[in-house]
Amino acid sequence: SMQCFPGLVLALSSLLGALALLQLSLYLRVPSRYGKHEERLCRPRGRLPARCAWFLQELPSFLVPALLLALRSPPRLEPLGCRLLCCLFCWHYFYRTFIYPFFTRGRPFPLQLLFFGMLFCIYNGFLQGYYLIYCAEYPNDWCSDIRFTSGLLLFLLGMGINIHSDLLLRQLRKPGEVTYKIPQGGLFTYVSGANYFGEIVEWFGFAIATWSLPAFAFAFFTLCCIGPRAYHHHRYYLKTFTDYPKSRKALIPFVF
Ligand code: NDX
């Protein structure tokens, strides 16, 4: 049966870090082409309804670690920290896979990006799940360690902001509508990328709570993936709406 290979964890985490840098270099100047940054009419075919696309894309991030957790024999019962952390990861992706897609009013999503997105979710789901279930070792009182408690708090705060902001974005449209408006309320009062800010806080919280290389690599990847996207959203709004609130920042309230 499966066991922990520390070399594998190191290799996969390093590759994730390298992918993050590649992403940063690709998407700082031009945004990834989906949603408001897709050139219209360019490829009318080769897309899937947002609902199916997000469901398929994110499913492996839920399924892979959930299966690893359920199928490990003998089941890993100690320490509690490992299971709790793995459940946190699955909890986020339960939301992203089974709840978010069914309410989204987003535009059809490009198949090509869907393909890479799915590959990414398989890769990362495996890395995080495998590490937590087969490799991670925590003292039995990890749940009262300051890293675990503060990380968990950040995770929950970030998740709250992310879900709330997703909701505010969705309410900007009636069903069937695909136009863009100025987001209002919640953290959008301060930043254009409120949903992204929440997601980034969430994964850095997760990294602090797990105190592991794979989780820090994923938090860094998230920052490099959606950080630039927040900046491009911000520029899009400034260009599109002359009455866009001047004091609003791109990603980090009051700072940037
Ligand atoms: N999915 C993470 N890289 C990504 C899909 C794309 O979960 O090849 C990473 C994720 C993938 C990416 C994923 C990984 C890297 C890939 C990339 C594609 C290329 C890239 C594979 C997997 C790649 C290399 C080279 C390294 C291989 O019509 P619409 O869709 O624009 O409508 C939007 C609507 N909306 C508005 N409605 C009215 N008025 C407005 N002003 C509006 N503004 C937006 O709201 C949407 O329906 C909705 C949200 O839109 P948006 O653009 O704000 O968010 P979106 O980017 O769609 O993300 C949705 C959520 C969000 O909460 C975010 O935090 C989370 O997913 N997310 C997204 C991306 C990655 C990620 C989290 C993470 O890294 N943790």
160 near 199, Cβ under 8 Å? no
Residue 254 lies in a domain: no
Residue 247 lies in a domain: no
251 near 223, Cβ under 8 Å? no
Q: How many domains does the chain have?
A: 1
Query: Encoding tokens for residue 221?
Result: 């990847």
Burial zone of 168 (CB within 10 Å; 0-12 exposed, 13-18 middle, 19+ buried): middle
Per-residue pLDDT at 171 exceeds 70? yes
106 CB near ligand 1 (under 6 Å): yes
Please tell me the distance from the alpha carbon of residue 179 to that of residue 192, in angstroms, as a whole number. 17
Q: What is the mean pLDDT of residues 44-64?
A: 94
pLDDT averaged over every residue in the chain: 94
Residue 249 lies in a domain: no
**Residue 109: φ, ψ to 5°:** -105, 135
Residue 70 lies in a domain: yes
Per-residue pLDDT at 32 exceeds 80? yes
Angle at 175 between CA 170 and CA 178, to 5 degrees: 75
**Ligand 1 pocket check: which of 23, 25, 27, 36 to mutate, most ligand atoms within 8 Å of Cβ?**
36
Per-residue pLDDT at 75 exceeds 90? no
51 CB near ligand 1 (under 6 Å): no
Per-residue pLDDT at 129 exceeds 70? yes
Residue 144 lies in a domain: yes
Residue 1 lies in a domain: no
Query: Which residues does 249 contact at the CB level (< 8 Å), separation at least 6?
Result: 190, 191, 192, 234, 255, 256
Residue 160 — very low, low, confident or very high, per pLDDT cuts 50/70/90?
very high
The pLDDT of residue 40 is 67
Q: Which of 181, 162, 161 is nearest to 171 (CA)?
A: 181
Query: Encoding tokens for residue 176?
Result: 């069937």
The pLDDT of residue 82 is 79
Please tell me the distance from the alpha carbon of residue 41 to that of residue 238, in angstroms, as a whole number. 23
Residue 227 lies in a domain: yes
198 CA: nearest ligand 1 atom: 64
How many angstroms separate the alpha carbon of residue 127 from the centre of ligand 1? 21
18 near 129, Cβ under 8 Å? no
Residue 251 lies in a domain: no
How many angstroms separate the alpha carbon of residue 32 from the centre of ligand 1? 9
Please tell me the distance from the alpha carbon of residue 130 to that of residue 191, in angstroms, as a whole number. 35
* Residue numbers of the domain that contains 78: 8-38+45-240
What is the pTM (predicted TM-score) of this model? 0.96
